[in-house]
Amino acid sequence: MTTVGVVRERAPGERRVAMVPDVIGRLRSTGVEVLVEAGAGTAAWFPDEAYEKAGAQVVAASELYQAADIVLCVSPPEQPVRDGQALVGLLDPLRRLDAVRDWARRGVTAVSLDQLPRTLSRAQAMDALSSQATIAGYRAVLVAAGAYSRYFPMLTTAAGTSTPAKVLILGAGVAGLSAIGTARRLGAVVTAYDVRPQAKGEVESLGAKFLELTSVESGAGDGGYARALTGAEQQALQEELDRHIERFDVVITTAQVPGRRPPVLVSAGALAGMGPGSVVVDLAASELGGNVEGSEPEQAVVRDNGVTVIGAGNLPASMATAASTAYARNLNALLAHLVRDGVPHIDPADEIQAGVVITHQGSVVNPAVANLLDALGGGL
């Protein structure tokens, strides 16, 4: 029988867990036995006893890494998985090439949900990027509302009427649409922009106004994603946005381009033009930079002109119960696809597996990761 092991996440600030008690029953029905590392769900409010009650066995890390055929994680563990084991999670292989080489050399089957072909309808239940981005977009609005010292909704009270907050969302993908819906539910007046013209209809269907800009005709790229803009387009877009941003109280940025640095959309000049008390939340903030000039992950800075700039960190981890539950369902859907009659069937020719399987039987089988390794030279 195949044994699946759920590890305790150890990255700083991570509170999520890859599997939750509610999903253990469904996972076991695929014919696998489930081990959970002691304390794995504690930070997401899932005690060890809840896993035991659901039919899993709670064990120490050493036993888990020894006994599991498939290790489930959110981010790859520091502890090396053993030769021949399978590792399933959000492995971020394009940015962890040393780990990819190591997995390949040791015959580890590395399966990464961030490489899922997301447009396939049968892959949607496995789409962890979307489930986590939905939470990040929701949470970004709550972070902004917490830092904003006025109301989001229009309120009429005996003490007078408050005007609603004017919120601008830049990037209307999964996180951006979730942010639009949340800001609207809080009563803000919401405007949004995306370089993909297709986003206009989605923005409007959520009751927000689409910001019509002229500097980029269409930024749509492959597979429903945005393409990288040319330097001239990027410059023109930033200048055009500079002229609009100052009239908003709250700006939330979510713009990404796969495999690239996030584009800068809110320049230092735009920040200087915003009024005191305004709040900017950059969901794209990372070590590589973000959408807001000068933003840093996990940092809130109040600028000299009274504008608060918040670089979001791992927002899904700040809502760990919901994030873990959605992620566990995504993993369960993937495992139901990979495991038949209790036995994993790795077939890189399968459309879904062609994306998610990164290394298998000593080779790098995911084309995007293999191409990147080739381009960098040196092989495995």
Give me the residues that bind ligand NAD (CB under 6 A), please: 118-119, 124, 127, 129-130, 133, 170-176, 193-196, 199, 219, 224-226, 229, 237, 254-258, 263, 265
Compute the distance between CA of residue 20 and CA of residue 6 in angstroms, rounded to an integer.
Answer: 9
Cβ distance 150 to 249 under 8 Å?
yes
Compute the distance between CA of residue 307 and CA of residue 292 in angstroms, rounded to an integer.
Answer: 12
Q: Which helix (H) or strand (E) holds 260?
A: none
Strands of the 299-302 sheet, one edge to the other: 209-210, 189-193, 166-170, 250-253, 279-282, 308-311, 299-302
Cβ distance 221 to 198 under 8 Å?
no
Compute the distance between CA of residue 212 and CA of residue 191 in angstroms, rounded to an integer.
Answer: 10
Of 168, 225, 230, 233, nearest to 199 (Cα)? 225
Least separation in angstroms between CB 189 and ligand NAD: 20
What are the DSSP calls for 277-297, one per residue? T-EEEETT--TT--SBTT--T
Cβ distance 89 to 14 under 8 Å?
no
Q: Which is nearer to ligand NAD, 101 or 227 (CB)?
A: 227
Active centre residues (catalytic): 118, 124, 127, 130, 225
Least separation in angstroms between CB 118 and ligand NAD: 4
Least separation in angstroms between CB 148 and ligand NAD: 22
Q: Which amino acid is at 136?
A: A
Least separation in angstroms between CB 219 and ligand NAD: 6
According to DSSP, the residues that pair with 169 across neighbouring strands are: 192, 252
Least separation in angstroms between CB 192 and ligand NAD: 9
Least separation in angstroms between CB 95 and ligand NAD: 15
Compute the distance between CA of residue 270 and CA of residue 115 in angstroms, rounded to an integer.
Answer: 35
> Nearest residue to ligand NAD, using CB?
173
Cβ distance 245 to 272 under 8 Å?
no
